[in-house]
Amino acid sequence: MTVAVVGCGAVAEFFHLPALAKVVPRDDIWLVDPDLDRARALAARFGRGEHIAAHHSELAVDAAIVATPNDLHEPIAVDLLRGGVRVLVEKPLARTAAEARRIVEAAPGADALAVGLFRRRLRAAEHVARELTTLGPPRRFRVEEGVPYVWSAATAFALDRDRAGGGVTIDLGPHVFDLLRVWLGELELVSYRDDAHGGVEADALVELRAGGVPGTVELSRTRTLGSVVEIECERGTVVGPAQDDYADALERQLRDFLAGTPTATGEDGLRLAELVDECYARREPLYEPWAAVPA
């Protein structure tokens, strides 16, 4: 099966390509990016140096991983899906629910479209799910996800609200929200606060109900919160990391996708896009003591 990675940024280099190289022969990997030098360098490491293209329309492949900036997810994914190519889109599925819906509608079937919510395949996430079956009804939850932004990005698109769609909420949020949906049930937004001030937010506090269970999600790109989940149940509390071996989870996600059984479907991505839309629509300012004005 031939597979193209569309977009040769840091996500492709550090996440998708190392996993793909374990699953697909080098001769079947293609790299697509307008920066052909960048594509050629990654192709030499993970595939064949000559297996490159500046645009996805130049190739005829069986499957593709869309790892471009968020504003390009919709046009590229829709084009590939309509051409009969199976597609895995890096999270978020799109910048908005409207864009995500158009991607889903372009897919000929649920097995044709996957979303890169690979944390479902983390051993830690599966452990939490198992523990919840033994402790009785959940009562409340708390999730913290944060680390100062040190990502070795190839471009600055993540700092551009128009291109990225937002900041930490649209970036880290889908992973956390998706796991809460898997563990507890559908999500209902109660309140949302962030520090965007017209730009991309670096910190956000989300109050939710997941399957009717109340809780909070704190997201940060400025503080070391770690990746912690705490779910209090009737007969005990699940406490632990919400992540562990990324490489293993990415490989498992990729095998699911290529087998036609997506770890997370387009509909999953759409539900999360709808939640993120609602967060931004109901945004309130995050409390910042240094900005508070005395009464």
The per-residue pLDDT for 240 is: 76
The per-residue pLDDT for 100 is: 98
The CATH architecture that domain 3-118 belongs to is: 3-Layer(aba) Sandwich (3.40)
The per-residue pLDDT for 236 is: 96
* Rounded average pLDDT over 34-41: 96
Of the chain, the percentage scoring pLDDT greater than 90 comes to 86
Q: Taking 80 as the threshold, does the pLDDT of residue 278 lie above it?
A: yes
The model's confidence at residue 49, banded by pLDDT at 50, 70 and 90, is confident
Residue with the bigger pLDDT between 175 and 226: it is 175
Instruction: Identify the CATH class of 119-246+264-287.
Output: alpha beta
pLDDT in tens, 169-209: 999 999 999 999 999 999 999 999 999 998 999 999 999 99
Q: Taking 90 as the threshold, does the pLDDT of residue 159 lie above it?
A: no
pLDDT in tens, 258-273: 999 999 999 999 999 9
Domain ranges of the chain: 3-118, 119-246+264-287
The per-residue pLDDT for 118 is: 95
The model's confidence at residue 154, banded by pLDDT at 50, 70 and 90, is low
The per-residue pLDDT for 293 is: 58
The per-residue pLDDT for 152 is: 65
* Rounded average pLDDT over 141-145: 96
Q: What angle do CA 290, 291, 295 make, to 5 degrees?
A: 105
Q: Taking 90 as the threshold, does the pLDDT of residue 153 lie above it?
A: no
The per-residue pLDDT for 291 is: 77
Q: Taking 80 as the threshold, does the pLDDT of residue 241 lie above it?
A: no
What is the end-to-end Cα distance of the chain in Å, rounded? 66
Query: The whole model's pTM is what?
Result: 0.94
The per-residue pLDDT for 295 is: 47
Low-confidence winner among 3-7, 145-149, 240-244 (lowest mean pLDDT): 240-244
The per-residue pLDDT for 151 is: 66
